[in-house]
A = this chain, B = another copy of it.
Amino acid sequence: MKDKIFSNLIFERFSIYYRCLNKMISDNNQKEFTDSNELSYLLNIDPSLIRRDLSLIGKIGKRGMGYSINALKSGIENILGKNKIWKLALIGIGNLGRAILRYILNNTSSNYSVVKLYDNDPAKIGISIEGIDIKNFDTINKHIDFNIGLITVPADSAQAIADKLVDCNIKAIMNFAPIKLSLPNDIFYREVDLIKELDILTGMLNFNNAIQKSS
């Protein structure tokens, strides 16, 4: 469990470094080097943590020169699997599912491809969106050909969908339904929960208002 949390945070930082390096390259493709102080300034991450993270890539820093931006980018591509196409399936083709589909399709520079759409509403099955047919989720089996399942169904059916994905040997699940799923330890899991995010913001606003009133 501890290892998993540790990994989450490292991979999250690698994703942030990667985006930052791409921006450096697109802003100024003459620039060859960066260092942990510049990255720290841009990303508000401690420079010693950046150096520790980047040391995992191997010997890419040169004393007095910093890191080669291209070598860093290619090292992070290896770590995050950015040099492969990862196949996604969306389960639940309501508004949220459609929005996520279009968001990923519009993000043409990403290495993610939506290959399957599933729903269990007979009125939707067979309809094609952006060239992909919506299939009946009940028909999925162990011969599926995607890497990550994105669950965009309502909360009350999310756990059953997740259980079926696990049965079909899917090892990575992203859950958008507002419910905490219970999953085996070997499944990589992320949740995107809009109401929880709003609760965090209003909790902070509320607390801040209370402090201001009492002072």
Which of B86, B171, B198 is close to A198, meaning CB atoms less than 8 Å apart?
Answer: B86
Is B8's CB under 8 angstroms from A200's CB? Answer: yes
Is B180's CB under 8 angstroms from A201's CB? Answer: no
In the complex, chain A residues 83-100 whose Cβ is within 8 Å of any chain B Cβ: 84, 86, 88, 94-96, 98-100
Which of B81, B200, B203 is close to A206, meaning CB atoms less than 8 Å apart?
Answer: B81
- What per-residue 1/0 map shows which CB atoms of A173-184 lie under 8 Å from chain B? 010001110000
Is A99's CB under 8 angstroms from B95's CB? Answer: yes
Q: Which residues of B contact A180 (CB under 8 A)?
A: 16, 19, 43
Number of copies: 2
- What per-residue 1/0 map shows which CB atoms of A62-99 lie under 8 Å from chain B? 00000000000000000111101010100000111011
Which of B14, B88, B199 is close to A11, meaning CB atoms less than 8 Å apart?
Answer: B199
Cα distance, A102 to B194, chains bound together (Å) = 12
Is A192's CB under 8 angstroms from B190's CB? Answer: no
Cα distance, A23 to B105, chains bound together (Å) = 36
Tally of chain A residues near chain B (CB < 8 A): 60
Is A19's CB under 8 angstroms from B178's CB? Answer: yes
Which of B79, B112, B172, B202 is close to A195, meaning CB atoms less than 8 Å apart?
Answer: B112
Is B207's CB under 8 angstroms from A79's CB? Answer: yes
Which of B94, B99, B198 is close to A112, meaning CB atoms less than 8 Å apart?
Answer: B198
Q: Which residues of B contact A86 (CB under 8 A)?
A: 198, 202, 205
Known: A200-B11, A203-B14. A102 touches B95 (CB 8 A): yes
Q: Which residues of B contact A201 (CB under 8 A)?
A: 148, 172, 174, 188, 190
Q: Which residues of B contact A11 (CB under 8 A)?
A: 199-200, 203-204, 207
Is B172's CB under 8 angstroms from A188's CB? Answer: no
- Can you sample 5 A-B contacts with CB below 8 Å? A79-B206, A81-B206, A100-B194, A172-B201, A192-B194
